Amino acid sequence: MHVIFIAPDFPANQRQFVRALHAVGATVTGIGDVPPERIDGQLRGWLSGYEQVRSLGDEQALLETVRRVQARKWVDRLECTVEAHMLSTAKVRETLQIPGLSYKQVLLCRDKLLMKQFLREKGIACGKNTAVDSADDARRFCEEVGYPVILKPRDGAGAHDTTRIDNRQQLEDTIRRFGLDKARRFVTMEEFYSGHEGFYDTMTVNGKVVFEAVSHYYPNVLDAMRTRELSPYVITTNRVESPGYNELKDFGLRVIKALELTTTPTHMEWFFGNRGLWFGEIGARPPGVRFWDLYCISNEMDLYKEWARGICWGAYEGRPTRHYSAALISLRPDRDGRIRAYEGLDEVQRRVGNCLAEVHLPPVGSPTAEVGAGYMAHAWMHVKHPDYDELKNILDYIGRTVKVRAG
């Protein structure tokens, strides 16, 4: 089994996919945009070869590189797990008739407008949305559905550049900020759905869900990205078998079947409120912010290896223990500038140190990141506990106790 893997070195956990492919017996060729000398010895040991392209977004360059690899050795799979590179990878895969996700499937999982229009036609509950190319388009949509609304890039990942608009003044400010009054832009607007937010992740092999995880945001993502006063966290629960999640799992399975996904990870955002359960969006990829690492911790298994086994051999052997609920908590500096000091770490270590799986603290003197840069752009901790409710208490305690001072 020969697998070409896109971007083996970045982000940092990309190497785990390469490690896993190597571990299940695959021959792995990496394609990336960094020079070969930047590939470290450990990663090089898992690769049988490495090819550099000037840009992973350059479809023609990627096509030529894959063809060059094919000329040397038959290619069974061409795999990509980074959202930004998935469309170009799918186009190359389809052109060269390599098995895997089709271009249409990836497009429907990338383009928010097409995604929700397609799923609404399949009877999946989604909010109203529309393409917005101008200021007048934006104003018309707000008049139709009312406030609040959400504006986001059609092909964006996560909450990057996602903006909530609550009134006419905010709409006009957003129009100016995005330049919609000056040029055509590639964005969508959709009605805002009020409710609790989370995500449902799966690994499917030959169309069957073989692994699933349910996670919750505290608070919801847009609220988490607005202020430094919060230490937001995301929990993956070990109560996945609870009957309360049956509707969500059935809902997710309907989305997977509608998109005809076969062997792939999925990451599906959802909302639950007074209008019931609504679909947010889906990616045919693992979640970001290293959340698979938390799945490995909470289930005492190697999910990366199970992904590789499914990709290469159409098999799955994992047995999740559901022993722990696990979480990522983001610890924001109290202001912009440079980190001056950390407070409360010793107390947290004394009281709940046995629950800390991994701790990341940018060195004193490091520049702070903007609030909306993401959960892992700041100091963060991976935390675990067998009881979901107790884990929530621990995370609230950490958020109150640990202070990141900047100036």
CATH number of the domain at 128-191, please? 3.30.1490.20
pLDDT of residue 162: 80
| Continuous segment of H or E residues that includes residue 106 | helix 103-108
CATH number of the domain at 196-406, please? 3.30.470.20
Residue 158 has pLDDT above 80, yes or no: no
pLDDT tens for residues 341-366? 999 999 999 999 999 999 999 999 99
**CA atoms of 131 and 223, how far apart (whole Å):** 24
User: Nearest CA to 201 among 133, 103, 299?
Assistant: 299
Residue 87 carries which DSSP code?
H
pLDDT of residue 304: 98
Report which of residues 193 and 382 the model is more confident about.
Answer: 382
Neighbours of 245 (CB within 10 A): 17
3-state secondary structure of 86: helix
Residue 199 has pLDDT above 60, yes or no: yes
**CA atoms of 187 and 51, how far apart (whole Å):** 34
**CA atoms of 322 and 303, how far apart (whole Å):** 13
Q: What is the mean pLDDT of the chain?
A: 94
Between the CA atoms of 18, 19, 25 and 27, what dihedral angle is there, to the nearest 10 degrees?
40
Q: How confident is the model at residue 185 (pLDDT cuts 50, 70, 90)?
A: confident
Tell me phi and psi for residue 372, to 5 degrees: -80, 10
**Could you tell me the pTM of the whole model?**
0.92
**Domain boundaries in the chain?**
2-100, 128-191, 196-406
Stretch 225-237: mean pLDDT:
93
∠ CA 305-212-287, nearest 5°, is 70
State the DSSP string of 294-337. Answer: HHHHHHTS-HHHHHHHHHHHS----------EEEEEEE-BSSSS
**CA atoms of 225 and 371, how far apart (whole Å):** 6
Question: Worst-scoring range by mean pLDDT, 43-47, 153-157, 235-239?
Answer: 153-157
Exposure on the CB side of residue 3, measured as CA atoms within 13 A: 29
Domain 2-100 has CATH 3.40.50.20: yes
Q: How confident is the model at residue 194 (pLDDT cuts 50, 70, 90)?
A: confident
Bond from prior residue into 11 cis (ω within 30 degrees of 0): yes
Residue 198 contacts residue 249 (beta carbons within 8 Å)? no
Residue with tokens 């995301």: 234
